[in-house]
Structure 1
Amino acid sequence: MDQESFFQRGKSNNKYWFGISINLLFIVFEVICGVFAGSLALVTDAIHNLGDVLGLVIAFVAVILIKRKPTKHHTYGFYNTTILAAFTNSLILVASLAIVIWEAFLRLMNPEDHVDGWIVVIVALTGVAINGLTAYIFHRGSKRDLNEKANYWHFFADALISLCVVFAGFIINFTNWVILDPLVSIFAAVFILFESWRVLCHAFSLVTNGVPDNISENEVEKYLLSFPEIEKINDVHIWALSTTEVAISAHLQCNRPADYMKILDDATDGLRKKFDIDHVTLQLETSDKKHKESKI
């Protein structure tokens, strides 16, 4: 069975089970190597990797909750749990990178007397493989789902840091320049931090009911006003129900109320096809009615 069918979203949660399992195994492996080599850095990195697994578990819980049917109390269901998961995961990632940078600075100020470069290389290579594979299985979904995008960047960041550590370990073996270990960690962490910050800002925007980045409110209004029957648009609200589903509500002022159903159907169908807005709620008003704008 190929990667796409095995991890296909909607039919199974294999990608989450797989990611959580192999990363837990890697944490155990890293702790054993750290204790055996007497390396505090490896043990610390294992603790950091626990944060990765926690983020993956949070995302997995959101994927399970999103499948629950709406209730009278949660009329939209639990779709927004994926937004909360993406935001939490992004927070964990940014915090983890900040910790990596801080620890690297501490090691710059107080370099270790001896670093077993070969053990570092072996563990880091394993980390590249595990984190790289985990990032790969979430890469396809990251193009359309912010929750999976957060997962992807989380593990891509770790894979890149591990790759830098591999090169540093090789150089340390031949030169004993132990200062390279924290330097490459800072370089990789800062590089990833820029993209991670964008993901965090995007997730925060969705948490606070911001218009999704792939939709322009001006373009939506321009499209609706292209209908000859629609004179004015009031109370437009566009927000994300989840990391993949978008909703809109608006009052449309029309000069031909007799065409009510046709206008409603055409506008709703157009919003879904042109802007990929799933949940459309439109209210038509006659031109002679004085609209009372809501507070929000």
Structure 2
Amino acid sequence: MHNHHQLHAQSQDSHHEHAHGHSHNHGHGQGHHHQPSSSEGNRKGLTIALIITASIMLLEFFGGIATNSLALLSDSGHMLSDTASLLLSLIAISFAIRPASSNKTFGYLRFEILAALFNGVTLFVVAIFILWEAYHRFLQPPVVASGSMMLIAAVGLLANLASAWSLMRKGDVKNNLNLRSAFLHIISDALGSIGAIIAGLFMLLFSWYIADPIISVIVSLLILKSAWGVIKHTVHILMEGTPASMNRDDVRKALEGIEGVIDVHDLHIWTITSGLDSLSCHLLIEDDQDNQSILQQAIRQLEEQFHIQHSTIQIETSRIHHQLLKI
């Protein structure tokens, strides 16, 4: 392990290899060119979902007041956080495509991860609030206008499904963490609407008004599970954790398997934003080896085997010495 601050004090040779590794590895640049097109689809999907969600939020809020239904009111509260999170996700996409600057060399790509974290936290807060309200309703279940409640919840469900379909069709829900967190908001909304319909059915048929808080609790627990997954993932990225789909030891073995490589050290793999993983490392090679050939093999191996297009590789021989790094 070696100290980054010591690298600049190394020989011209080492500096040349480091820079050369960077210039050869412009797969990262190509990744940036793909960004706007996928961002455009994500933006369209989010805009449609935002308009639908905001409209249904207002319907469920006033419907919940009129029918005295916690299930509807909690769902409208959830939709309020959804509207905010969809708006934030939309803003995050606009920020993410802004170019890098001299004081933000990675640009604003991380803003999407921050938006996803915020979305996860708001999901968590809304779920806790619903559980608190449900607790009070368990003690004294109020009478609910179940017929009207079911009708409003059904409209909400159809709207949620339309929003979810819009995001799935136009956006990258699978690989973009920001979009996935927004999508989870909408899916948990759909669960809330389904819960309200089921609760309304019980109340309509059996006058079983405790069904309202019971269903609200079940939906809240499902929301908490989704929220925890998003929070855990975003915090891992912000802590520069190794991408979940990658094994650091496998990457090390692959690089050490290149002929002429003696040792791989100072190996770091992290995620900048969804779909953009980065790597930096030092390769200690045999003195008589062609360093440029080894560098090219390493770049190709990382791209083909691990889909890492943004890598910085420093080639070293026995002549290079630097102190141990703290990380």
Same fold (TM over 0.5): yes
Matched, 1:137 2:166: yes
1:210 to 229, 237, 241: 241
Matched, 1:63 2:89: no
Q: Which secondary structure does the structure 1 equivalent of 2:273 belong to? A: coil
Contact 2:67 2:146 in 1 (8 A): no
1:98 deviates by: 1.7
Given residue 127 of structure 1, which amino acid in structure 2 is its aligned partner?
G
Q: Which residue of structure 2 aligns with residue 30 of structure 1?
A: 60
Given residue 233 of structure 2, which amino acid in structure 1 is its aligned partner?
H
Given residue 194 of structure 1, which amino acid in structure 2 is its aligned partner?
K
Q: Which residue of structure 1 aligns with residue 24 of structure 2?
A: none
CA deviation profile, 1:77-111 (whole Å, cap 9, x unmatched): 11111111111111111221222222212211221
Unaligned stretches of 5+ in structure 1? Answer: 1-7
Q: Which residue of structure 2 aligns with residue 163 of structure 1?
A: 194
1:169 deviates by: 0.5
Given residue 99 of structure 1, which amino acid in structure 2 is its aligned partner?
F
1:291 deviates by: 4.1
CA deviation profile, 1:20-58 (whole Å, cap 9, x unmatched): 111111122223323443556644542331111111111
Worse-matched range after superposition: 235-244 or 172-181:
235-244
CA distance in 1, matches of 2:71, 2:196: 12
**Higher RCO, Cα 8 Å, sep 6+:** 2
Worse-matched range after superposition: 233-242 or 269-278:
269-278
Q: Which secondary structure does the structure 2 equivalent of 1:177 belong to? A: coil
Contact 2:74 2:130 in 1 (8 A): no
Contact 1:94 1:196 in 2 (8 A): yes
Given residue 39 of structure 2, which amino acid in structure 1 is its aligned partner?
G
Matched, 1:242 2:273: yes
1:144 deviates by: 1.2
CA deviation profile, 1:152-200 (whole Å, cap 9, x unmatched): 2111111112112211101210111000111011112213422331221
Unaligned stretches of 5+ in structure 2? Answer: 1-36
Given residue 299 of structure 2, which amino acid in structure 1 is its aligned partner?
T
1:16 deviates by: 1.3
Q: Percent identity?
A: 28
Q: Which residue of structure 1 aligns with residue 135 of structure 2?
A: 105
Matched, 1:77 2:107: yes
Contact 1:22 1:130 in 2 (8 A): yes
Q: Which residue of structure 2 aligns with residue 186 of structure 1?
A: 217
Contact 2:71 2:216 in 1 (8 A): no
Cα RMSD after superposing both structures? 1.9
TM score, norm. by length of structure 2: 0.82
Given residue 29 of structure 1, which amino acid in structure 2 is its aligned partner?
L
Contact 2:46 2:86 in 1 (8 A): yes
Q: Which secondary structure does the structure 1 equivalent of 2:290 belong to? A: helix
Given residue 192 of structure 2, which amino acid in structure 1 is its aligned partner?
I
Given residue 23 of structure 1, which amino acid in structure 2 is its aligned partner?
T
Matched, 1:200 2:235: no
Contact 1:136 1:152 in 2 (8 A): no
Q: Which secondary structure does the structure 2 equivalent of 1:124 belong to? A: helix
CA distance in 2, matches of 1:32, 1:120: 11
Contact 1:135 1:151 in 2 (8 A): no
CA 40–145 in structure 1, closer or farther in 2 if over 3 Å, else same: closer
Given residue 45 of structure 2, which amino acid in structure 1 is its aligned partner?
K
Given residue 159 of structure 1, which amino acid in structure 2 is its aligned partner?
A
1:215 deviates by: 1.2
Given residue 223 of structure 1, which amino acid in structure 2 is its aligned partner?
A
CA distance in 1, matches of 2:160, 2:127: 15
How many residues in Structure 1 have an aligned counterpart in Structure 2?
A: 288
Q: Which residue of structure 2 aligns with residue 176 of structure 1?
A: 207
CA 21–257 in structure 1, closer or farther in 2 if over 3 Å, else same: farther
Q: Which secondary structure does the structure 2 equivalent of 1:26 belong to? A: helix
CA 257–141 in structure 1, closer or farther in 2 if over 3 Å, else same: farther
TM score, norm. by length of structure 1: 0.90
CA 41–87 in structure 1, closer or farther in 2 if over 3 Å, else same: same
2:183 to 130, 146, 152: 152
Matched, 1:122 2:151: yes
